[in-house]
């Protein structure tokens, strides 16, 4: 997936998800999530499934009867971080032998029984399509067995499960609209860990958005590895499944969610350059509440490298999509993902990435050096031939350039008035609140009497490459 990540280092930063749910049985669950937004969203499904069984989630791993780590395999260092954490939790088993430790998500799927049998780090392993089975798996462990379910499904979308919202603030939430990925980018492990692509019933998506709005939420992010290939009631080949019902594409779904309420902001992630249609852009132009921000991962500026990456587009095609965004949606902020040092990347290829970044003028980017992943097409077909030092040097150059581009983008906002959705009190000062504008830039301004969920027009007075600051416009 083009996984859109919450923290600055994407898959790298672990963020704990926690929430308290009343229950009678009093068993305590500690959930820790790594990686992409989809994992965070999945943890909310896991919390929902286990709260039905009477689990309370806890913020403190030391209180837990069950520790579940929702993991990421996208780069090797993400996996190493999880292993270190699992070793720490394992030490606790000496004092508390009944503690259940489980691994969920991509590492569960990739490593399967290894984590149980060879590495002996966990009691339970559950892949991304096996969460309904968690109550049984935990029972098996309590009964003295090790438990594994890594079956991938062609149908599972968890459409009927109302996620327990674990994020803070009660203003923004994720809605998963599809699962899996059929793209097979040659560097990517996701198609192996999350299985085939499938879309979720649009009615259940709209109902979830409505319910969130009714509870006071003011922003939803629609999640999928490749949202542009969302489709309902039509096969991949284009055959309508039920003639009596409408076909829903991603543009159609966006419109439906936009219409839930004009005060509900809608974002989405991730778009794929080969599939992003002008239809989606025209729908975004039509509704003010469809946020003017698009994450369009390019990965490389060189057509040769893109070909080896199996991305399905050339540099020219990508620039055509960028130009469509700039024409149909002027002022939209565009972000991207970039990988440096992919197999066979020459200095020339690297320069093409830098020149493409300048040409687009990205407002934001997530940048990585290539990490070879077992079983991927690239691992089987190409040599991982770029020395680590070169990969890192190129990454540094890409990061330096992006930092200049982000600075210039935010500088342009000075003097403009942005509509900001308040999310909470600034971490640096009690006297300030923070939120984001439509283009997804974090904005800080004086608190006055504003509370989370308020929309405030803010005149921008100051900026860095990461945030903008301003003062409320008094109407």
Residues at the interface with ligand 5AD (CB under 6 A): 2-3, 74-75, 187-188, 297, 299, 337, 339, 368, 370-371, 373
Nearer to ligand 5AD, 78 or 291 (CB): 78
Shortest Cβ 345–ligand SF4 spacing (Å): 17
Is residue 378 within the footprint of ligand SF4 (CB under 6 A)? no
Nearer to ligand SF4, 58 or 71 (CB): 71
Is residue 409 within the footprint of ligand SF4 (CB under 6 A)? no
- The residue number whose beta carbon is nearest to ligand 5AD equals 337
Number of residues written out for the chain: 475
Nearer to ligand SF4, 229 or 406 (CB): 229
- Of ligand 5AD, ligand SF4, none, which one does residue 224 interact with (CB within 5 to 8 Å by kind)? none
Nearer to ligand 5AD, 218 or 272 (CB): 272
**Selection from 250, 251, 247 nearest residue 224 by Cα:** 250
Nearer to ligand SF4, 272 or 469 (CB): 272
Site size for ligand SF4 (CB under 6 A): 12
Is residue 68 within the footprint of ligand SF4 (CB under 6 A)? no
- Of ligand 5AD, ligand SF4, none, which one does residue 183 interact with (CB within 5 to 8 Å by kind)? ligand SF4
Nearer to ligand SF4, 110 or 265 (CB): 110
Is residue 191 within the footprint of ligand SF4 (CB under 6 A)? yes
Is residue 99 within the footprint of ligand SF4 (CB under 6 A)? no
Shortest Cβ 307–ligand 5AD spacing (Å): 16
* Alpha carbon 412 to its chain's center: 27
- Of ligand SF4, ligand 5AD, none, which one does residue 75 interact with (CB within 5 to 8 Å by kind)? ligand 5AD
Which residues from 268-297 bind ligand SF4, rule CB under 6 A?
272
Nearer to ligand SF4, 64 or 223 (CB): 223
| Cα–Cα distance, 7 to 36 (Å, whole number) | 9
Is residue 190 within the footprint of ligand SF4 (CB under 6 A)? yes
Task: List the one residue from 157, 183, 335, 443 that touches ligand SF4 (CB under 6 A).
Answer: 183
- Of ligand SF4, ligand 5AD, none, which one does residue 318 interact with (CB within 5 to 8 Å by kind)? none
Shortest Cβ 278–ligand 5AD spacing (Å): 23
Query: Mind spelling out the 3-state secondary structure of the chain?
Result: CCCCECCCCHHHCEEEECCCCCCCCCEEEEEEEECEHHHHHHHHHHHHHHHCCCEEECCCHHHCCEEEEEECCCCHHHHHHHHHHHHHHHHHCCCCCCCEEEEEEHHHHHHCCHHHHCCCCCCEEECCCCHHHHHHHHHHHHCCCCEEECCCCCCCCCCCCCCCCCCCCCCEEEEECEECCCCCCCCCCHHHHHCCCEECCHHHHHHHHHHHHHCCCCEEEEECCCHHHCEECECCCCCECCCCCCCEEHHHHHHHHHCCCCCCEEEEECCCCCCCCHHHHHHHHHCCCECCEEECCCECCCHHHHHHHCCCCCHHHHHHHHHHHHHHCCCCEEEEEEEECCCCCCHHHHHHHHHHHHHHCCCEEEEEECCCCCCCHHHHHCCCCCCHHHHHHHHHHHHHHHHHHHHHHHHHHCCCEEEEEEEEECCCCCCEEEEECCCCCEEEEECCCCCCCCEEEEEEEEECCCEEEEEECCC
- Of ligand SF4, ligand 5AD, none, which one does residue 226 interact with (CB within 5 to 8 Å by kind)? ligand SF4
- Of ligand 5AD, ligand SF4, none, which one does residue 272 interact with (CB within 5 to 8 Å by kind)? ligand SF4
Nearer to ligand 5AD, 165 or 350 (CB): 350
Nearer to ligand SF4, 46 or 190 (CB): 190
Is residue 199 within the footprint of ligand SF4 (CB under 6 A)? no
User: Under a CB-based contact definition with an 8 Å cutoff, are residues 290 and 284 in contact?
Assistant: yes
**Residues whose CB falls within 8 Å of the CB of residue 302, separated by 6 or more in sequence, listed in order:** 315, 345, 348, 349, 350, 352, 353
Residue 114, CB-side half-sphere exposure with 13 Å CA sphere = 7
Nearer to ligand 5AD, 80 or 87 (CB): 80
Is residue 228 within the footprint of ligand SF4 (CB under 6 A)? no
Nearer to ligand SF4, 185 or 260 (CB): 185
User: Under a CB-based contact definition with an 8 Å cutoff, are residues 355 and 301 in contact?
Assistant: yes
User: Under a CB-based contact definition with an 8 Å cutoff, are residues 353 and 300 in contact?
Assistant: yes
Is residue 468 within the footprint of ligand SF4 (CB under 6 A)? no
- Of ligand 5AD, ligand SF4, none, which one does residue 368 interact with (CB within 5 to 8 Å by kind)? ligand 5AD
Shortest Cβ 420–ligand SF4 spacing (Å): 30
Is residue 134 within the footprint of ligand SF4 (CB under 6 A)? no
Binding site for ligand SF4 (CB under 6 A): 1-2, 181, 183-185, 188, 190-191, 225-226, 272
């Amino acid at each position: 997936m083009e996984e859109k990540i919450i923290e600055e280092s994407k898959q790298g930063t672990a963020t704990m998800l926690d929430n308290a749910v009343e229950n009678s049985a009093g068993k305590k669950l500690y959930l820790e999530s790594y990686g992409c937004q989809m994992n965070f969203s999945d943890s909310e499904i896991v919390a929902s499934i286990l709260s039905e069984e009477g689990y309370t989630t806890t913020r403190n791993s030391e209180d837990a009867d069950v520790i579940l780590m929702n993991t990421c395999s996208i780069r090797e260092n993400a996996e190493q971080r999880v292993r270190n954490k699992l070793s720490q939790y394992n030490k606790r088993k000496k004092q508390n032998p009944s503690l259940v430790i489980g691994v969920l998500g991509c590492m569960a799927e990739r490593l399967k029984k290894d984590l149980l049998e060879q590495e002996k780090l966990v009691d339970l392993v559950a892949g991304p399509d096996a969460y309904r089975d968690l109550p049984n798996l935990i029972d098996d462990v309590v009964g003295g067995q090790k438990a594994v379910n890594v079956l991938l499904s062609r149908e599972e979308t968890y459409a009927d499960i109302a996620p327990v919202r674990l994020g803070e603030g009660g203003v923004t939430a994720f809605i998963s609209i599809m699962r899996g990925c059929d793209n097979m980018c040659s560097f990517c492990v996701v198609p192996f860990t999350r299985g085939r692509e499938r879309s979720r019933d649009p009615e259940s998506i709209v109902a979830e958005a409505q319910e969130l709005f009714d509870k006071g939420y003011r922003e939803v992010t629609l999640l999928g590895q490749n949202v542009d290939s969302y489709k309902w009631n039509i096969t991949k080949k284009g055959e309508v499944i039920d003639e009596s019902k409408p076909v829903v594409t991603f543009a159609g779904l966006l419109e439906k969610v936009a219409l839930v309420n004009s005060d509900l902001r809608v974002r989405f992630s991730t778009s794929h350059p080969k599939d992003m249609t002008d239809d989606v852009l025209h729908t975004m132009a039509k509704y003010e509440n469809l946020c003017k921000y698009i994450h369009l991962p390019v990965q490389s500026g060189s057509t040769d490298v893109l070909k080896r990456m199996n991305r399905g587009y050339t540099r020219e095609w990508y620039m055509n999509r960028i130009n469509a965004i700039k024409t149909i949606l002027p002022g939209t902020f565009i972000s991207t993902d970039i990988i440096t040092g992919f197999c066979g990347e020459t200095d020339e290829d690297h320069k093409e990435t830098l020149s493409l970044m300048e040409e687009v003028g990205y407002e934001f980017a997530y940048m990585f050096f290539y990490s070879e992943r077992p079983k991927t097409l690239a691992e089987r077909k190409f040599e991982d031939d770029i020395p680590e030092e070169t990969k890192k040097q190129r990454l540094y150059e890409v990061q330096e350039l992006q930092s200049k581009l982000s600075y210039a983008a935010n500088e342009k906002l000075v003097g403009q008035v942005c509509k900001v959705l308040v999310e909470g009190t600034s971490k640096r000062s009690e006297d300030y609140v923070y939120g984001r504008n439509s283009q997804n830039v974090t904005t800080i301004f004086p608190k006055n009497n504003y509370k989370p969920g308020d929309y405030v027009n803010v005149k921008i007075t100051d900026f860095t490459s990461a945030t903008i600051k301003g003062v409320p416009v008094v109407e």
